[in-house]
Amino acid sequence: MADLGIDATVEALLAPVASAVSGFVFYAVPIGDNELPLIVLWLAAAAVYFTVYLRFINFRALWLALRHVRGDFSDPDAKGEISHFKAVATAVSGTVGVGNIGGVAVAISLGGPGAAFWLLVAGVLSMSTKLVECTLGVKYRRHNPDGSVSGGPMYYLEYWFQHRQWPRLGRFMGGFYALALVIAGFGIGNMFQANQAYTQFLVITGGDASWLSDRGWFFGLALAVVVALVVIGGIRSIAKVTVVLVPFMASLYIVSALIVIGLSAEHIPAALQSVMQGAFTREGATGGALGAMVIGFQRALFSNEAGLGSASIAHSAVQTDEPASEGITALLEPFIDTVIILSLSSLVILTSAIPNNLMGSEVAGIELTSAAFAVHFDFAPYVIAVAALLFAFSSLLAWSYYGLKGWTYLFGESRAGQLCFQLLFCGFIVVGCMLQLAAVLDFSDAMIFVIAIPNLIALYLFAPEVKTDITKYIQKLRADGRY
């Protein structure tokens, strides 16, 4: 990528700040041979708590969630902008990313095969956290005069404190969340995604020999124009794209993974045995079962973003008068992102990479996953590159909306202000394809997990209310003979 000579300057300015923020957010406590980041403990504890507190709603209501996405309970007269299916598609587009392809390879490399088991467990548990935050996102959203909707943690944080005679604290908490969201959106939700999209496009077009190898600005400009054409139309326009893009890109990757796993079927029993041994015994990388658990939970929670509250912003736009209905629908997001896609990625690594001695080689992350696919198909790296490119593009669309809602919370809902943010967001796409700003990404990566702290506080405070809403909604469906 082109070096504009300012990378070092930006690094020098931001590196100390990024280091300080990252050190605070990802502060880890030693446990045996491992270190457990407190933010992972914070997210994992919430996932376990809400699963138990809501009486394993992630299992009980999964079929009901599928029925909502199918449109069985749609109300065309309800307030909102998009359907349940479009809301899920938009939220999934923000969580399904390059990490779903390469992150699993890193997790298994560090934590051994047992990490795959705990990754699956974390995905199932985090479904409950997602239900709580998305129920609140819809319940405390605001309907704007132009028919649009604004919702998310900043609004339910403000509401809780405001209605307990602490309006300034409520506004501060909401503003803190919104500001951190905007900063993270420009980094991990924008420049990182644009950079990954550019990298994967180079893979498709010849790598270092590609005409674009030193023209990141050109690719970034083209990508920015495409993104602008979508995001300037708001959530309705974004949802129209994601409702097509998400099923296609997910199907492309899932089908490809199933084929590879099928061709390596003879290794499945050994793979499953190694997973269980690594998950419950001391055999394995970095401390055995404990290391596998820590790394598995970390990868899953970082992937599906349950507890961060970001997805509730997209779910807030759903067309419904029953907030609990969207909370139930949101169960599908971690299920798709983590339980299905990450688990399939794990099996690809375990049945192809490990038997062919690819682990421990110079390749890692997405390159290792690509090499595992290439065991059976020489053209597999191109399929992986296309999938990763689509994942990065879809994440850009979702994060443009998340960042916009953080921006409008801080600066108001004026159309001029929204357009200003959208153009600024697209401008950062070009920057992301031109520079290697590690400090910027470290800083924004830390900021996105900073917001988990106030968000999870709100989820605990609202837990009894959400439990009541979910129970009443399910009872209502049963009384009507619809459940």
pLDDT tens-digit map of 99-115: 677 777 777 777 788 88
Average pLDDT, integer, range 28-56: 81
The pLDDT value given to residue 420: 93
Of 45, 50, 41, the residue nearest 132 (C-alpha): 50
The pLDDT value given to residue 2: 44
Q: Is residue 23 part of a domain?
A: yes
Q: Is residue 335 part of a domain?
A: yes
**pLDDT tens for each residue of 324-350:** 999 999 999 999 888 898 889 889 888
Q: Is residue 2 part of a domain?
A: no
> Which pTM was predicted?
0.87
Q: Is residue 138 part of a domain?
A: yes
The pLDDT value given to residue 134: 95
Average pLDDT, integer, range 228-253: 86
Most confident of 36-40, 282-286, 297-301: 36-40
Average pLDDT, integer, range 72-84: 85
Q: Is residue 103 part of a domain?
A: yes
Percent of the chain with pLDDT over 90: 31
Token pair, residue 425, equals 């967001």
The pLDDT value given to residue 33: 61
Q: Is residue 1 part of a domain?
A: no
The pLDDT value given to residue 41: 82
CATH number, domain containing residue 284: 1.20.1740.10
Is the model's pLDDT at 264 over the cut of 80? yes
Answer for the pair 256, 383: CB distance below 8 angstroms, yes or no: yes
Average pLDDT, integer, range 30-54: 81
The pLDDT value given to residue 324: 93
Q: Is residue 483 part of a domain?
A: no
Range of the structural domain that residue 377 is part of: 7-478
Domain count across the chain: 1
**pLDDT tens for each residue of 363-415:** 566 777 888 888 888 887 788 888 888 888 888 988 999 999 999 999 998 88
User: Three-class SS string for the chain?
Assistant: CCCCCCHHHHHHHHHHHHHHHHHHHCCEEEECCEEEEHHHHHHHHHHHHHHHHCCCHHHHCHHHHHHHHHCCCCCCCCCCCECHHHHHHHHHHHHCCCHHHHHHHHHHHHHCCHHHHHHHHHHHHHHHHHHHHHHHHHHCCEECCCCCEECCHHHHHHHHHHCCCCHHHHHHHHHHHHHHHHHHHHHHHHHHHHHHHHHHHHHHCCHHHCCCCCCHHHHHHHHHHHHHHHHCCHHHHHHHHHHHHHHHHHHHHHHHHHHHHHHCHHHHHHHHHHHHHHHHCCCCCCCCHHHHHHHHHHHHHHHHCCCCCHHHHHHCCECCCCHHHHHHHCCHHHHHHHHHHHHHHHHHHHHHHCCCCCCCCCCCCHHHHHHHHHCCCCCHHHHHHHHHHHHHHHHHHHHHHHHHHHHHHHHCCCHHHHHHHHHHHHHHHHHHHHCCCHHHHHHHHHHHHHCHHHHHHHHHHHHHHHHHHHHHHHHHHHHCCCC
Is the model's pLDDT at 317 over the cut of 60? yes
**pLDDT tens for each residue of 220-234:** 899 999 999 898 888
Answer for the pair 394, 249: CB distance below 8 angstroms, yes or no: yes
Cα separation values, 205 from 202, 217, 245, Å:
5, 16, 21
The pLDDT value given to residue 446: 67
